[in-house]
Amino acid sequence: MTSILTNNGAMVALQTLKSVNNNLEETQNQISTGKEVGMAKDNSAVWAISKSMESDIQAFESVSDALDFGEATVAVASSGMEQIVETLKEMRELTVAGVSQNVDHAKIEADLAKKREQIDSIISSANFNGANLLDTGVTSQLDVLGGLSATADVISITGINSTNAISGTMGTTLDSTNAATVLSEIEAALTFAIDAAAQLGADSNRLSDQNDFVSKLTDSLKSGVSTMTDTNMEEASARLKALQTQQQLAVQSLSIANQAPSTLQQLFR
């Protein structure tokens, strides 16, 4: 039955056109924003998961900054201790020469005194933003956050009491009778400094390895969020073409449906 009051064909065509237009608008938004799930209404479950992961990403980026800061602090201390080792080796060489009787012990002692001052200067200068791992009076322990747990993921770097263990053990003044004693003091300090430098090197490697892990984990989380929320541009492009064709056909169908009542005029001629 054809009615001039109700055009069922036009209503169906109109609903189809509205549906196609809505899908087309959604696809165009996905292409323009690059996000398939950009708001909670797009997919509430995926949106909630992605926001939680994005929060973790931001937290891990802060952890990475903390690890970079910790690495820099340890690097300063490590460089200082390595320089102390080289200075102690020079002092050991001078003291070995002082064992002989026919040398100028006063000049050797003057050189040793300068190098002791140099070691003290290195210890006090190995400071990074208020932290000095070579002086336990300044920093007895450096805690670096290596993960999201404030208790389980803390990496603790123990400070080194360089003043007492190195400077404090080399107090004997070299003369013609005590070269062996001075040499023993320097060798003990050198052994301690080498062990301390190795410890700082291990601490630096630990921080670096953790930082690499956090960086890779952050990249994985970013990739996961992208997979869940980003628009597949190839699929969206194909869908856009199909919807544009559907839109044209829906407009044409609505036009035909709207013309149907006018055919009734033929019956009254």
What residues make up the domain containing 30? 8-34+233-268
Decide if 70 contacts 155 (C-beta within 8 A). yes
Is the domain of 196 the same as that of 237?
no
Is the domain of 21 the same as that of 78?
no
- Any residues with CB less than 8 A from the CB of 1 and at least 6 apart, and which? none
Is the domain of 129 the same as that of 175?
yes
Residue 28 lies in a domain: yes
Residue 39 lies in a domain: no
Is the domain of 258 the same as that of 128?
no
pLDDT at 1 over 70: no
Q: How far is CA 172 from CA 13, 65, 121, 186, 224, in A?
A: 103, 45, 19, 10, 64
Is the domain of 161 the same as that of 49?
yes
Helix orientation angle between 233-259 and 8-33, rounded to the nearest 10 degrees: 160
Q: How confident is the model at residue 268 (pLDDT cuts 50, 70, 90)?
A: low
Is the domain of 165 the same as that of 115?
yes
Mean pLDDT of the chain: 91
Is the domain of 68 the same as that of 108?
yes
Q: What pLDDT, on the 0 to 100 scale, is given for residue 141?
A: 96
Query: Looking at residue 113, which CATH number applies to its domain?
Result: 1.20.1330.10
Is the domain of 124 the same as that of 196?
yes
Average pLDDT score over residue span 178-189:
92
| % of the chain surpassing 70 pLDDT | 95
Average pLDDT score over residue span 209-229:
95
Is the domain of 201 the same as that of 240?
no
Using one digit for the tens of pLDDT, what is the confidence trace for 79-138? 999 999 999 999 999 999 888 767 888 899 999 999 999 999 999 999 999 999 999 999
pLDDT at 267 over 70: no
Is the domain of 129 the same as that of 256?
no
pTM for the model stands at: 0.78
Query: Strands 154-158 and 141-145, how do they pair?
Result: antiparallel
d(CA 115, CA 95) in angstroms, rounded, equals 12
Domain count of the fold of the chain: 2
Which of 214, 229, 244 terminates a domain? The answer is 229
Is the domain of 145 the same as that of 247?
no
Report which of 71, 88, 156 is spatially closest to residue 123, judged by C-alpha positions.
88
Query: Which of 1-5, 80-84, 229-233 bottoms out in mean pLDDT, i.e. has the lowest?
Result: 1-5
Please state the separation of Cα 245 from the chain's center in Å: 47
Report which of 202, 210, 260 is spatially closest to residue 9, judged by C-alpha positions.
260
Is the domain of 128 the same as that of 241?
no
Q: Which residues face 143 on adjacent strands?
A: 156
pLDDT at 265 over 70: no
Longest distance between any two alpha carbons in the chain, whole Å: 141
